[in-house]
Structure 1
Amino acid sequence: MAQGHGHGHGHGSAAAYAGSASGRHVRRLTVAAGLGLVTFVTQVVVGLTTSSLALLSDSAHVFTDVFGIFMALAAILVSRRARTRPDRTFGLYRSEVFAALFNAFLLFAVAGWVLYEAVDRLAEPPEVPGLPVTVVALVGLVMNVAAFLLLRSGAQESLNVRGAYLEVMADMLGSVGVLVSGLVTLIFGWRYADPVIGVAIGLFVLPRAFSLARQALRILLQHAPQRIDVESLTNDVRALPGVKDVHDVHVWTLTSGMEVISAHLTASGEADPAAVLQDAQALLAERYHLEHATLQVEPEDADGHCGNPNW
C-alpha cells in the first residue's frame, strides 16, 4: 500500500492574504493612524504655545502610539505585497508578529517613562494651565474613542491589530487623565493631579504590554495556539476509523488568523488512505477550526515511517 499525503486549506492562492486577520483591518488602522496624527499635532502646537508640560508629555505618548500603528500597517502591507515564492514558502506573514512584539516594547518604554515622569513631578509638581489642557485633552479623547471603537473588533482576531488597539486604549486613558488633571487644576488648583494620574496610567499599561509580548513570543517560538489542547486533538484523530496511530504532530500559528497543523497518521491494513485523510481533515476543520492541515497517511506495515528524526 502506498503512502498518502494530503493538504487541506480554506483559502486559495488568489486570496492568500485573506487568511491573515490583520489584512482585513487595513482601512480601520489607517483611519486610526490619521486620528492619532491630528491629536499629536494639536497637542504639540498647544503645548509649545502654552508651555504645558502635561500636553507635551502626552504628545510623546501619542507619537509612540501613532508610530506603532504605522508600523503595524507597514507589516501588513509588506506581507500583502510579498507573495509566496520558492524561497519564502510562508511569505512574510511573520512580519506582523514582529511588529506586535515591537509595539509591546514601545508600550513598556512609554509606561516606564510615564512612571518616571510622574515620580519626578510628585517631588516638584509643575504648574499646568487648566483651560487649554482641558480643551485639548477633550479633543484628544474624542479622537481616541473613535480610533478605539474602530479597532476593537480587529483586536479580537489579530495580534498585530491588538498591539495598535492597546496603544490607542493607553492613549485614550492618557487623554482621560490629562482631562481630569486639567479640570482639577482649573477648578481646585491642585498641582498633584497630573503625576498621580500618570502613575495610574503607567500601572495600567504595563500588564497589557506584558500580555501582548507574551502572545507574540508564543507565535515566534512556534508554540501551539493557546485555544488548542494538542493531546486531546491527537487522541481525537487517533480515534477515527482506520487510524492506528498519530505521531509527529505540529500545531503552530503563522500569524493571527492563520493556524497550521502537520501530522503523520498510521492507517490500519484494511483502511482506505483517502478516506482516512478526508475524515482527519474534516475533524480538524470542524472541531478545531484548523483548515490548513498537511497530513501524511502511512500504511501500517511501512518501514521507518517518518524516519525517526532526533529533534
Structure 2
Amino acid sequence: MAHTHSHAPSSQDQNAKRLMLAFGITASFMVIEVIGGLISGSLALLADAGHMLTDAAALLFALLAVIFSRKPPSGGRTFGWLRLTTLAAFVNAIALVVITVIIVWEAIQRFLQPQPVAGVTMMVVAVAGLIANIAAFWILHRGNEEKNLNVRAAALHVLGDLLGSVGAIIAALVILWTGWTPVDPILSVLVSCLVLRSAWRLLKESVNELLEGAPSSLDIAALKRNLNRSIPEVRDVHHVHVWMVGEKPVMTLHVQVIPPHDHDALLGRIQHFLEHQYAISHVTIQMEYTPCQGPDCHLNEAQAGHAHHHHP
C-alpha cells in the first residue's frame, strides 16, 4: 500500500504554493475593495470585499490544513492530521453562509433607503478586483481541486468573489448610465444567492465526512453485489464500513468465503478488486468460513434502499 502515498508530497506542495499565492492576491485586493467601497458608497463592492475577507481567512486556514496534513501519523493520531482539511472546508462553508446573510440584510436596508454611489470609483475598483479574482481562481483551479475538498473550498470562495466583481461592474455601469442606485444592493443579493448555493453543497459534503459518512458516489449495496459476482469464492459480504479521512477512503468489511486452498491469494484478490474497481487501497478484511450470526450482520441491507437518494 506504500505506493499510494508516493505522489502525495508533490501534490500537497503544489496545493500549498497555489494557496499561498492566491492568499497574497486576495488579501491585497480585499484592502483595495474596502477602501474603494467606503469611498464610492457601493454595497456591491463592500459585499465583494466581505467575500474577499472570508476568502483570505479561508485560504490561510486551507494553507495551514495542507501543512498540518503532512504531519506523519503517530501512536495517538494513527491517521495523522488528514481530517483537518475536512474541518477547514466545513469552517469555510459556515463562513460563507454567515457573510451572505449579513450582505443580504444590509442590501435590504439599502433598498429601502437608497444611498448615493460614486459610479466611476466603483467601476475602477470592481475591474481591478475582477482581474485579481480571475488570477486567484486560475491558480487554484489548476490544483487537484476535484480530489482535495480543501482546495475546492478555497476555489469556491474565490469563484464567489469573481461573481461579486462581475456584479459590481454591472451595477457600476447601470449607475453611470442611468443613475439608478438600487441596482447596487439588488446585484449584491443575486451574487450572494449564487455563493450560498455553492456553500450549502460544500457544507453537506464536509459534514458527511465529519460524521463518518460513506462517499456520496459509493453505492455499498452495488459494491457487495459486484464483489460476490467477481470472486466466486465469496458467499456473503457484511459489516461493511466506508468513511473518508481527508481525501482517502478507508474501508472495513467481513467476507464469508468458501475455505480457500490459499488464504493469502484470495485476500490479495479481494484487495485488488477493491483498489482497482473502487480506488479503495486502505482496507481491512476479515475472512470468515461460517455464516454471520447476530443482528448487525445485515447492517447495510437496511440502508440499501436509501443509498440511491444521496445522488444528486
TM-score tier, shorter chain, comes to: 0.7 to 0.9
| Residue aligned with 2:4, SS | coil
User: Counterpart in 2 of 1:183?
Assistant: 173
Q: Which residue of 2 aligns with 1:98?
A: 87
Residue 36 of structure 1: how far off its partner (Å): 0.4
Q: Does 1:248 align with 2:252?
A: no
Is 1:11 equivalent to 2:11 in the alignment? Answer: no
- Give 1:54 deviation, angstroms: 4.6
- Matched residue SS, 1:11: helix
1:40-189 superposed matches below 5 A:
40-50=30-40, 54-80=44-70, 82-153=71-142, 154-189=144-179
Alignment partner, residue 268 of structure 1: 258
Unaligned runs of 5+ in 1: 1-7
What is the rounded CA distance, in whole Å, between the counterparts of 1:280 and 1:305 in structure 2?
22
Shift of 1:53: 5.1
Q: Structure 2: which 5+ runs fail to align?
A: 300-312
What is the percent sequence identity of the aligned residues?
A: 34
1:276 aligned partner, one-letter code: L
Aligned residues: 297
After TM superposition, give the deviation of residue 170 of structure 1 in Å.
0.8
Normalised to the residue count of structure 1, the TM-score between the two structures is 0.87
Measured after TM superposition, the shift of residue 22 of structure 1 is 6.0
Which residue, out of 210, 215, 221, partners 1:220? 210
Kept in 2: contact 1:97–1:216 (CA 8 A): yes
Give per-residue Cα distances to partners, 1:7-65, cap 9 Å, x unaligned: x46425xx49549x766512111111111012112123334455555534432221111
Cα distance, 1:150 vs structure 2: 2.0
Distance 1:265 1:217, change over 3 A: same
- How many Å separate the matches in 1 of 2:9 and 2:114? 51
TM-score (norm 2): 0.86
1:208 aligns with 2:198: yes
Match of 2:223 among 229, 233, 243: 233
Q: Is the 8 A contact 2:44 2:167 kept in 1?
A: no
- How many Å separate the matches in 2 of 1:247 and 1:117? 53
8 Å contact from structure 1 (residues 134, 179) kept in 2: yes
Greater CA deviation, 133-142 or 181-190? 181-190
